[in-house]
Structure 1
Amino acid sequence: MIDILALLIATFPASMTAANLVLLGRAEGTPAPGTLVSILVPARDEAANIAACLDAALASAGVAIEVLVMDDGSTDGTAEQAAARAAADPRLRLLRAPPLPPGWTGKVHACARLAEAARGTHLLFIDADVRLAPDAAARMAAHARANNLALVSGVPRQRMGTVGEGVTVPAINLMMLGYLPGAGRAFTNHPAMAAACGQLLMAERTAYDAVGGHAAFRHRLHDALALSRNLREAGHRTEVVDGSRLAGCRMYSGFAEAWAGFIKNAREGMATPAGLPVWTVLLAGPHLLPWLLLPSPWAIVALALSLLTRAAITLRVREPLWTIPLHPVTVAVALAIQWTALVRSALGRPAGWKGRAYRPADGT
């Protein structure tokens, strides 16, 4: 009986994925005359990434741009590399973040200060490990205008070089496409259905200012989701598009870094006392439980459905194919991260990132 239940649960992410892969659109079009995209890069100890990030941003075509880098107390040469490029290209400005005020998280503070200094009609926030495609800024701005969107976001093509990355990073697209109705498209206009990826997020300037920008959620760690929800609550339209052809990103360099990075944001997502038991059933039921029920024919069908779901997502978002057989481990690790985050929060332990510690409730 339990094997049949596992199969029934497996139909949920499978059917959701099938619908979302059809619904997930691409940013297309030509920007309106007078559009200026401010490409905004918060950077803290990003010497390994900043040069390539800025080179890709400055290669943007099809729309007028400016590029702003906020050096947030780096100690590794990030500022020096950005300064050298700024000296050679007047479109690039290097800014220095003031000391982090009480109650703010680091990235949110840097993004708020970047927005204050930006001159653009559209604000394109990217992480330093993101490499924009030349037409990404133009296509996102055009898509926002054509569809009356206050926010356009996408998950960049995730590049992975180690098994540790392969069993952690693919969970992003699995959750977005396998479990979120509509995958963040604008027609799912309720704030609870909002979604966004902080690696690649464009906000229309007027709407961004109207909802208070990043200052409205200064204590948050999951800044992209908070901004998307705030905009929807104010009646604006937000949308997730296929980001795999707009940008690429290698988030982490191995398992330990990925583990720490995902734990940082977990308490503002799935890792809540009420929500995580439900998520455990929804994830373990179709993707892990059938392995324990072999050789039941129903369990075999459930596993086939699980792996086909993951394969369809992987192919669409252009992630490495070698990560597909690791799918059960990916789900197990994702759940381990969420439960660890919940336990750490219950014990009062803050999440740490780049020399700073944050508590999920107050951002300190």
Structure 2
Amino acid sequence: MIVVWASFFIWTVFNSLFLIPLPKRPQIATRPLVSVLVPLRNEERNVVRLVRSLKQLTYESVEFLLLDDQSTDRTYELLLKETKGDNRFQIRKGKPLADGWVGKVHACHQLAKQAKGAYLFFIDADVELKPMVIEQLLAVATTYDAKLVTGFPSFHPQSLPLVGKWLVPLQHFFILFHLPLYLANYTNMRATTAAHGACLFFERAAYEAIGGHASVKQEIVEDVMIARRMKSCGYRVILANVSTHIVCYMYETNKEVWSGFIKNVYVGLNRSPLFVMILTIFYGTFYVAPLFIAPFAITKGWTYALPLVIVIMQKAYVEWKTERSISTCYWMPLSVAAFIVLMYASMRAKRYEWKGRTYT
């Protein structure tokens, strides 16, 4: 049985070789206009950090469009204050949510209609960008002839509550372990598609050709669905390792963590009870059980501790690969147990609530 855990570790290392890195010294032949598009709804705690992050970007041919999506806090006021005097910024008030649309998708649609760039860079309001990220994404897009470059940000560990420390870092683990990255990056297979709304870097012409965000207007997991649509239309999608240059301050409370994952997990599993059951058996057997097997090492031999050691090593490798602190690798069995509970809670939920809006 030890061979099984060892094979999981080896596969993760091999699979990670096909995660496209961002170039350290990007070479760009031309510098087309890039529109950085940010929907914000009740994001007053993130506005200052976001705007300061955008201001220090080194790419010069850029415009920033920030849309206040019907916020009930000081988001709009802070946006005006923080961007005053910088003509690269355009602050917009979002229209009321139209029937049949998911809130964030509706906001992104409005932003795209007002943008002028040859490339559209959608990000979330809770991210912090490193200075050269646009040059790097543009270099990947041109090198690989990709019409969409996406990736999963790193997550600021100090800003996460306890449940967040358990669940949020699992996103990178799932990608490097479960998603065959060669197929994701070198084929147009829809099933091998992942994307993150904090980093969607589109070539505008391709984005418009597939119908833009209007084509996924009812999708809660709109980032994955629009990436799948790009592939279905024959456009190349690249999943890159952006964790070194995009940091996400995702949640501040355990309630936010739970609500955020509840709305995405079951939908992301194609609302399949069978898939939930299979994952429960798999993760319960190979990632939770080692925690209970390990104590037998005291009386029956050190080999009983090996499964737990390998599980922790596998998680530590993922965190190292995505340049995170490896401190959360020790939480792995608890993280997986929490994820199993989360799957069933998400499956049983009749509606999902997020930022004052309800979805079914």
TM beyond 0.5: yes
Give the aligned partner of residue 281 of structure 1.
Answer: 281
Counterpart CA distance in 2 for 1:12 and 1:343 is 34
Give the aligned partner of residue 353 of structure 1.
Answer: 354
Counterpart CA distance in 2 for 1:223 and 1:163 is 27
Counterpart CA distance in 1 for 2:227 and 2:8 is 23
Structure 2 contact 148–238 (Cα < 8 Å) conserved? yes
Structure 1 contact 35–63 (Cα < 8 Å) conserved? no
Q: Secondary structure at the match of 1:203?
A: strand
Give the aligned partner of residue 318 of structure 2.
Answer: 313
Give the aligned partner of residue 103 of structure 2.
Answer: 106
Structure 1 contact 185–241 (Cα < 8 Å) conserved? no
CA distance 1:226–1:254, change in 2 (3 Å): same
Deviation, structure 1 residue 185: 4.3
CA distance 1:112–1:298, change in 2 (3 Å): farther
Unaligned runs of 5+ in 2: none
Mapping of residues 79-158 of structure 1, within 5 Å: 79-158=76-155
Q: Secondary structure at the match of 1:69?
A: strand
Count of aligned pairs between the two proteins: 350
Q: Provide the TM-score with structure 2 as the length reference.
A: 0.92
CA distance 1:84–1:24, change in 2 (3 Å): same
Mapping of residues 1-364 of structure 1, within 5 Å: 4=1, 7=2, 9-11=4-6, 13-28=8-23, 29-161=26-158, 162-182=161-181, 185-270=184-269, 272-294=272-294, 295=296, 299-344=304-349, 349-359=350-360
Structure 1 contact 131–248 (Cα < 8 Å) conserved? yes
Name the % identity: 29
Counterpart CA distance in 2 for 1:184 and 1:140 is 20
Structure 1 contact 310–327 (Cα < 8 Å) conserved? yes
Question: Partner letter of residue 356 of structure 2?
Answer: G
CA distance 1:262–1:209, change in 2 (3 Å): same
Structure 2 contact 68–92 (Cα < 8 Å) conserved? yes
CA distance 1:308–1:153, change in 2 (3 Å): same
Deviation, structure 1 residue 63: 4.3
Deviation, structure 1 residue 118: 0.7
How well do the aligned residues superpose, as a CA RMSD in angstroms? 1.8
Cα distance per residue 1:208-243 (max 9 Å; x no partner): 111111111111111110111000011111011111
Counterpart CA distance in 2 for 1:174 and 1:183 is 16
Structure 1 contact 157–319 (Cα < 8 Å) conserved? yes
Structure 1 contact 68–93 (Cα < 8 Å) conserved? yes
Unaligned runs of 5+ in 1: 360-364
In terms of mean alpha carbon deviation, does 24-33 or 84-93 score higher?
24-33
